[in-house]
């Protein structure tokens, strides 16, 4: 039976990428060695790293003056690295609190300096994106989270920023056009829309570094990893390789412009069924609905067992909502085919 993987993370990946990765585990580059056996300092893997960086730069149209890193520790480590590298001693930063991961980022930054929360949607269980807030001129940077996987909200526009702009794009990077010029630091855990868990993409403007008087631990200093081309310590070879394959698939598909249209269509038809069907309701404000993570409730609890069974019978996986929201969550990342979305819609129509 074909599986329809709606999991919020680890993400669905293109079959082409999975097949190539499977072969590479057994025999990489026809060299009779596994990808996960070769030296990360060997030319074959250096070529992988170079190609992965090149694809990121090409797909996102990253201008000169930015470094592209593949690090470890997930976005959770970036919650700490960003303030360590950008916040002055006794400095302060502005944050929006739009969900569980934004809240964790705030917690880490509070350990380094003062955090000013300029926009907060916790009053309504994060079902909307705050707007109309003011970013103070005297903060060291502003931090936001572009897409909230748990609550199904997404920033459709980014504010004009009088200071450095930092964004956690873990769950919607490569899904839509962005202007990298507007950001000074972007980070994204691979496992939401780029590749397997184990590596984190960091894109940062070189000129923002080295301006804090703080002594930064070597491993947590972005300059360390820039100087060593993301190889200060042994890099996560397999996640970087699969991310490279995924990015090549995206390029061959037509790039960001093409996938954005596909993602918009997938979200459009699923939200249309949620709004049409009296048995279902969305949990996020309509204007802030995510195109990546679609959260909804089944109004009649007595029909949940039937709905769950129909999903299981159809091979739908990972549809259960996060425990803090309940209900259901359909994560429709780049590699999710529209036919899988239609399977889910058909099941929703069967519930009477």
Catalytic residue among 168, 172, 184, 221: 168
Name the strands in the sheet holding 280-282, side by side, starting at the edge strand that comes first in the sequence.
280-282, 293-298, 328-331
The catalytically annotated residue of 92, 172, 184, 192 is 192
Q: How far is 334 from 247, CA to CA, in rounded Å? A: 10
Residue 192 annotated to the active site: yes
Which of 194, 13, 183 is CA-nearest to residue 86? 183
Interatomic CA distance for residues 87 and 108, integer angstroms: 12
Collapsed DSSP state (helix, strand, coil) of residue 94: strand
Give every CB contact of residue 310 below 8 A, 6+ residues apart in sequence: 347, 350, 351
Indicate which residue of 101, 205, 266, 288 is catalytic. Answer: 101
DSSP letters, 201-247, are: EEEEEGGGSS---SPPPGGG-HHHHHHTTT-SS---HHHHHHHHHHH
The yes-or-no answer on residue 168 being catalytic is yes
Run of H or E including 78:
helix 74-86
Beta bridge partners of 71: 200
- List active site positions: 101, 168, 192
């Amino acid at each position: 039976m074909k599986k329809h993987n709606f999991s919020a993370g680890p993400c669905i990946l293109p079959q082409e990428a999975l097949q190539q990765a499977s072969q590479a585990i057994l025999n990489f580059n026809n060299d009779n060695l596994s990808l996960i056996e070769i030296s990360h300092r060997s030319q074959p893997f250096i070529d992988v790293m170079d190609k992965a960086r090149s694809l990121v730069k090409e797909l996102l149209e990253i201008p000169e003056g930015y470094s592209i890193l593949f690090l470890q520790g997930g976005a959770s480590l970036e919650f700490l690295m960003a303030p360590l590298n950008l916040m002055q001693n006794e400095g302060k930063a502005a944050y929006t609190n739009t969900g569980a991961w934004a809240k964790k980022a705030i917690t880490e930054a509070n350990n380094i300096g003062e955090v000013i929360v300029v926009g907060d949607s916790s009053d309504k269980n994060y079902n909307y994106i705050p707007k109309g807030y003011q970013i103070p001129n005297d903060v060291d940077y502003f931090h936001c989270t572009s897409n909230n996987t748990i609550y199904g909200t997404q920033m459709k526009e980014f504010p004009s920023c009088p200071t450095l702009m930092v964004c956690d794009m873990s769950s919607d990077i490569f899904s839509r056009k962005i202007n990298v010029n507007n950001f000074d630091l972007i980070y994204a855990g691979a496992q939401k829309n780029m590749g397997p868990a184990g590596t984190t993409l960091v894109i940062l403007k070189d000129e923002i570094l080295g301006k804090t008087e703080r002594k930064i631990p070597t491993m947590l200093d972005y300059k360390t990893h820039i100087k060593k081309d993301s190889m200060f310590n042994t890099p996560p070879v397999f996640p970087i390789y699969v991310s490279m394959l995924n990015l090549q698939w995206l390029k061959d598909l037509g790039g960001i412009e093409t996938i954005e249209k596909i993602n918009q269509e997938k979200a459009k038809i699923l939200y249309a069924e949620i709004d049409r069907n009296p048995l279902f309701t969305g949990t996020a404000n309509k204007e802030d609905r995510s195109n990546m993570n679609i959260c909804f409730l089944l109004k009649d609890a007595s029909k949940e067992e039937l709905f769950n069974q129909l999903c299981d019978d159809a091979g739908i996986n990972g549809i259960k909502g996060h425990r803090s929201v309940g209900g259901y969550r359909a994560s429709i990342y780049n590699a999710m085919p529209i036919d899988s979305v239609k399977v889910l819609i058909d099941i929703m129509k069967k519930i009477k």
